[in-house]
Chain A
Amino acid sequence: MASLTEVRQAIADAVDAPDLQTTPYPLSAPEPPTAHVVPDAIDYHTSFGETDAGEGWSFRVQVFLALVDDLAAQQRADEFINEGRIIDALEADRTLGGLVSDLIVDRAEFRLWEPGGIPMIGVEYQLRILL
């Protein structure tokens, strides 16, 4: 069975966009443009068997962009939904190299964050994984 560490690393590796740094662990003061992986919830016992059988995991991938230039940051955020679709990158290999059974991106939300007191714009992707 894949470990949480392996899966979050595989998700970070999958988020492959130009100039975007990715990290499998959330950073308190991310340097934009950057993306990190946040575990959301784990559903145990979704099928019969021991505790590691049939688990469902959910994650959020948060992509941060500097808001130094209002227009450029929002246009870059648009790119993640348009031609450089991060959903396509995340779902390109739905087994994450054979670590999991399946993966789906359910939702993307535009966000305004202030990590470390610095205003940033970004997109948060919500994904679910079946082990």
Chain B
Amino acid sequence: MAVEKKILRNVGVEVDGTTLTTRARSVDVDLSADELDVTAFGGSGYREFEPGLKAGTIAVEFYQGFDSGGVHQTLWPHAEANDEFEIRIGPEGLTPADTNPIFVANVKLFAYKFLQGEVGQASTNPVTFRLTEAPLLDTT
């Protein structure tokens, strides 16, 4: 069997119940934790670190559009309200399975670009969501 490798082509993206998969072109789900230096005297000569608080961040680059049920109509109300909503991201679509865990999290929207781009190019909207609590992985 071939070594596990994956080419991203069908990442599922659902924002507040609206599927935006075909309007997205890149994702970055980052659950990095602060690195706390807990090095003490009498150690091995190497610094010791422990993970501290996590800051979950999801960056999605969308093609910007203003159609009904599209990127702007879905995200703009949240950009205005600063409210919390659910986001679901799946490596291979949005059908949960052991081999396709769906990342589910409550988030708030922080970075929203109404319009950006150059003349003659497709307009994109790089969006940043921040988790408000620990995420779940839905496999069923």
Contacts and interface: CB of A to CB of B under 8 A. Distances in A.
Interface residues of A, number: 14
Contacts, number: 36
Contacts of B120: 104, 106
A47 B62 CA distance: 8
A49 B10 contact: yes
Interface string B96-126: 0000000000000000000000001010000
Contacts of A101: 65
B9 interface: yes
Interface in A94-112: 101-102, 104, 106
B54 to A, nearest CB: 26
A107 to B, nearest CB: 10
B30 to A, nearest CB: 18
A53 interface: yes
A53 B22 contact: yes
Interface size class of B (residues with CB under 8 A): 10 to 19
Interface string A31-62: 00000000000000111111101100000000
B13 interface: yes
B10 A48 contact: yes
A81 B97 CA distance: 57
B11 A54 contact: no
A110 B8 CA distance: 41
A46 B21 contact: no
A17 interface: no
Shortest Cβ-Cβ A-B pairs, 5 listed: A49-B22, A53-B22, A48-B11, A47-B25, A49-B21
Interface of A: 45-51, 53-54, 101-102, 104, 106, 130
Given A53-B21, A54-B22, 7 more contacts: A45-B9, A47-B21, A47-B63, A48-B8, A48-B27, A51-B9, A101-B65
